[in-house]
Chains A and B, each alone.
Chain A
Amino acid sequence: MARRTLTAAAPVSEPELKAFARVAGRLLLAQAPRGAGTQALRRRRGAGLTPVDHRDYLPGDDLRWVDWRQSARLGRPIVRRFQVETSADWLLCVDASASMLAGHLWHRAREISTALAFALLDGGNRVALRLYAERVTGLCPFGRGPAHFARVARLLATHEPPQHGADSVLGACVAGISGRPSLFVISDFLMAEDPTGDLGRLAEVCGQAYALQLRSSRQHRLAERGPLSLVDVESGRRIAVQSGLTVERSAVAAAEALTARLRQFCAARKIAFGTADAAVAWQHILLNHLRQKVA
């Protein structure tokens, strides 16, 4: 991959991206979808089938894979197993609604998306990016290579969520998906509707799904004390609360409940789910999330 094509518009510096790609490459490939009896390896251009190890012959195995030399040496039929060059299509769905402006969520989501796209593209995958609010507000179709990363990075760098309004509807990303790409959703999942519905529909049309929930203390911290009229930045709904530590604790509990519900839903749908505080560096967020999945 020609590094010179990296755009200066990327929210993450090039050395950071390279360092992350080296570490995250193996983690991403370890989780890449592959067929039975294959091992995930980095795809090399022009590379063919490469034997990896052997095993005993089982009925049904193709006789072309019998290693006659080993069979003669061991006195029983042995077949070869091969490395399979794998590549995948990755769809990055990033929440770009107004709620992501709180607590640098959008900034962190942009960093994570950029780094993830770089690592995936560096691994030879095709990557598409969809920024969504109440609809898809930013779109970068599937592509691969440095030039495509430049498009992805430019879109992420130039896109800004609206200051208010624009409810987040994850289901808006469902349209137009084909080929069951791998899915990576980055969002705060603070939606008027239950996010599990859209997430479930999205996971159905994708091969493997990842969901990363970004959280921030700003989501439940109230800057003022006393009775307040809280206005939802997206829907504009108002509720009256008596601000205080109890209220904030209640909000934290509600956030924890949402996370638990998402985690339970994702576990049932085999969606890799993780949550992270936006105050944490993006490298830690991504590596912890990928390492957790590998473990």
Chain B
Amino acid sequence: MKRLLLPVLLLAGCGGGAQQDLPSIGEARSLAAEWAMINDLAARGRINATYAHAMRAQLREQLKSAAATLSQPDSRYGEEIQTLLTEPDEAPPEELRTHSEKLKQIEDSLESA
């Protein structure tokens, strides 16, 4: 039922510009997942600190630019990306993965709409 409702709710809340924002939503979803992967490997000591630091800085920059290109920054996905941006560099991977999954749900719903 939730799956059926989600596209309807999204369409009601988002309007036509949401389709335009799909590439940025997809980018943000991927960046959140990449960030989760980095933090996961860093926590297990499998990557060094210099690389992790540089990657997080770059991912954050890319996220900011993805957020800046949104035509509907106040939409649900816009808020999700903003919330993601407030996460600290060393945020728990599970939390970052949750953001990525939420954005993926929104992306899938918009694509099928």
Partners in one complex: no
